[in-house]
């Protein structure tokens, strides 16, 4: 997929701006493109600019221009939200997908639309007024992150045996101790390793240094002994697949699920991202302050990190214990 060839100029310049000036990753830019392509496909149908028999996924947006963009109203966007809520497949590549996107998915798509129109109004000066300035986002239900307990984390690490033991143990150890994203872990290079730290390339190509503890250092050294013996392997990547090329995020996802299942844990409830939640939760419980955790996890905004502070709040626990009825027994 190349948005430079598949998007009209009025959209392409917005994507160029976010890639070159804002420094967003290629993955993020691709998601922006896909979200806006879906939006303009629906708008073409709503405004009678698409053939009656055209398949939704075959509708071209190459003819979308400034006049078309200007014609969109808040009412149009709310109808688009209804379409996402009722008629949009949850999994576009599946023939058996349920329909209707979650509130969080719809909120993300609305955020991209708002960003696009703000760009046209404030940065590009192509719109005198922002037609979606008063657009409200769907109310998203706040849920606490799911995570492994300390005992479950130890159980997971203790269960790692068999093929790729050193590699998989190292991956799980870094997830549980450093709270890395799956893309950050898969993207690690040999040159990113230091004696007491690891250089991480995070979202938006932002670099940060994560210091490692003894458990991580031992796991890295054990895997390096195996890694060095692999002739003809990728000379740059740290973690390798069975084909001796850089491990993919899908492979990491699969091996985490496999190791969870082997440990007797519910692999449908947990994933590599839940291991990141686990690392964050366990560190907060053991005295790491939220500002330090924000830097460790690579969060741009503190409110993203603060969700972990609600997992276990000792002051709330103490308040429950102080209730005058706390000792009542029938």
Residues classed as catalytic: 181, 203, 273, 276, 299, 308
Give the DSSP letter string of 235-257.
SSBSSB-TTSSBPPHHHHHHHHH
H helices within 47-102, ranges in order?
Answer: 66-70, 74-86
End-to-end CA distance of the chain: 66
HEC secondary structure over 271-328: CHHHHHHHHHHHHHHCCCCHHHHHHHHCCCCHHHHHHHHHCCCHHHHHHHHCCCCCCC
- CA–chain centroid gap for 193, Å, is 24
Q: Are 259 and 159 in contact (CB under 8 A)?
A: yes
């Amino acid at each position: 997929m190349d948005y430079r060839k598949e998007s009209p100029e009025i959209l392409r310049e917005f994507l160029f701006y976010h890639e070159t000036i804002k420094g967003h990753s290629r993955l993020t830019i691709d998601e922006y493109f896909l979200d806006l392509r879906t939006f303009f496909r629906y708008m073409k149908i709503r405004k009678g600019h698409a053939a009656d028999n055209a398949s939704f996924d075959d509708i071209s947006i190459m003819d979308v221009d400034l006049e078309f963009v200007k014609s969109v109203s808040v009412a149009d966007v709310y109808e688009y939200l209804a379409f996402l809520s009722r008629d949009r497949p949850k999994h576009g590549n599946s023939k058996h997908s349920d329909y209707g996107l979650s509130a969080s998915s719809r909120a993300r798509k609305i955020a991209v639309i708002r960003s696009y129109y703000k760009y046209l109004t404030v940065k590009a000066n192509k719109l005198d007024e922002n037609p979606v300035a008063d657009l409200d986002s769907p109310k998203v239900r706040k849920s606490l992150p799911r995570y492994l307990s300390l005992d479950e984390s130890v159980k997971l690490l203790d269960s790692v045996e068999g093929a790729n033991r050193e590699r998989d143990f190292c991956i799980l150890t870094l997830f549980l101790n450093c709270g890395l994203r799956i893309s950050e872990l898969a993207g690690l290079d040999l040159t990113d390793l230091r004696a007491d730290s690891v250089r991480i390339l995070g979202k938006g190509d932002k670099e940060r240094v994560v210091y490692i503890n003894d458990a991580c250092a031992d796991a890295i050294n054990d895997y390096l002994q195996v890694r060095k013996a692999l002739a003809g392997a990728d000379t740059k990547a740290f973690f390798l697949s069975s084909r001796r090329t850089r491990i993919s995020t899908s492979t990491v996802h699969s091996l985490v699920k496999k190791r969870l299942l082997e440990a007797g844990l519910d692999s449908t409830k947990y994933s590599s991202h839940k291991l990141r939640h686990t690392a964050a939760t366990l560190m907060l419980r053991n005295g790491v302050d939220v500002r330090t955790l924000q830097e460790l996890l690579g969060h741009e905004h503190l409110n993203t990190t603060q969700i972990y502070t609600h997992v276990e709040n000792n002051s709330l626990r103490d308040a429950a214990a102080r209730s005058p009825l706390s000792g009542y027994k029938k």
